[in-house]
Chain A
Amino acid sequence: MFKELDPILHSQLRLAVMSLLINVKEAEFTFIKEKTNSTAGNLSVQVQKLKEVGYIDVAKQFKENYPQTTCKITAKGIEAFESYVNALQAYLKV
């Protein structure tokens, strides 16, 4: 019996965000936007969803008088991402 894929992660943009964040300690919102080729509005909504389920932390601060948003994956997010990848591998028998 295959494990059901996490619906939060099984969407293109959210998975892209999580795949970026799993590789770094933290990343600026502008970096994620650039690497995922998404719009700011769209990305904000998906980032908010990931934050609501506790997969990422979002910090807003000022840097050189400009607002700066940084995202960081949480322990819960890492666990969810690992389970998701394991489930994918089981499906694909990698």
Chain B
Amino acid sequence: MPNEKQLSEKESLQLITDMIQKVKNSYHDKGVGPLLWGTVVAIASFVSYLQLEYDFKLPFDIWLIVLGAIIPQIYLINQDKKTQKIKRHEDAALNAVWLVYALTIFGLSFYQSFAPNAAEQIMKTYGWQLVKHQIDNSKPDEIISPFTPSFYSLYILVYAFPTMITGLVKKYRPMIIGAIIAYSLFIVSCFTETKYDFLLGAISALACWFIPGILLRRMYLQQKKSNV
């Protein structure tokens, strides 16, 4: 590009448009992150459903694979930082959204793990206990521990929020559609048994991340091919 070529007004506008387009085409998410999370959350949710449906238990907690996925994710983020030649205005905001999402998921898990026991202790202090009472008196009353009914619905709700924000900010329709599906499945899950909530969670993970991830990956590979 010659340095001091004087442009006509029309050429100037054309140049600005071309450059905007070049920036737009220069960066595509590799899609590995959404693919990774879509896969592990869908598998963990689906296996949880199978365990409840067919009454078996794996020798380990299947949700540990979600924790395990943090290691490759950190590696991927570092690799991206090394190769990225531009920083976009929205990058910092979206990173903050996903960080808050991770903290929220951690908070939900913490609540699920500790709140029922804490509630049991508090109830003991007040001299109460939860009892399962059959309305038709077909079985004797049974003392039960406090539990969080249909709790996985909240996870589905939380899956939708960073996905919707990312989709809206990046104007990426598959993620917006994925988030709308997750919001709809959240409503459905409020009326279904816990085992089906897991199944709905698996579908949400596929809709929010796995499918958009595949589409992003395809776009990235196509762009890489055209740049060669």
Contact = CB atoms under 8 A, between A and B. Distances in A.
A30 B1 contact: no
Nearest to B2: A12
B3 A12 contact: yes
A15 B89 contact: no
Contacts of B9: 5, 88, 91-92
Interface in B11-54: 12-13, 15-16, 18-20, 22-24, 26
Nearest to B20: A23
Contacts, number: 92
A35 B26 contact: yes
Contacts of A23: 19-20, 23-24
B86 interface: yes
B169 to A, nearest CB: 14
B124 interface: no
Interface residues of A, number: 34
Contact of B85 (A28, A42, A94): A28
B89 A35 contact: no
A83 interface: no
Q: Name the residue in B2, B26, B86, B92 with the highest tally of chain A Cβ atoms < 10 Å from its Cβ.
A: B86
A6 B166 CA distance: 37
A30 B4 CA distance: 20
Contact of B12 (A15, A35, A45): A15
A16 B17 CA distance: 10
A73 to B, nearest CB: 11
Contacts of A63: 82
Nearest to A91: B9
B87 interface: yes
B9 to A, nearest CB: 4
Contact of A16 (B6, B19, B24): B19
Interface of B: 1-7, 9-10, 12-13, 15-16, 18-20, 22-24, 26, 82, 85-89, 91-92
Interface of A: 5, 10-16, 19-20, 23-28, 30-31, 35-38, 42, 45-46, 63-64, 84-85, 88-89, 91-92, 94
26 contacts: A11-B3, A12-B2, A12-B4, A12-B7, A13-B1, A15-B12, A15-B15, A15-B16, A16-B1, A16-B19, A20-B19, A20-B22, A24-B87, A25-B86, A26-B86, A27-B86, A27-B87, A31-B85, A35-B19, A35-B23, A37-B1, A42-B3, A64-B82, A85-B13, A88-B9, A94-B13
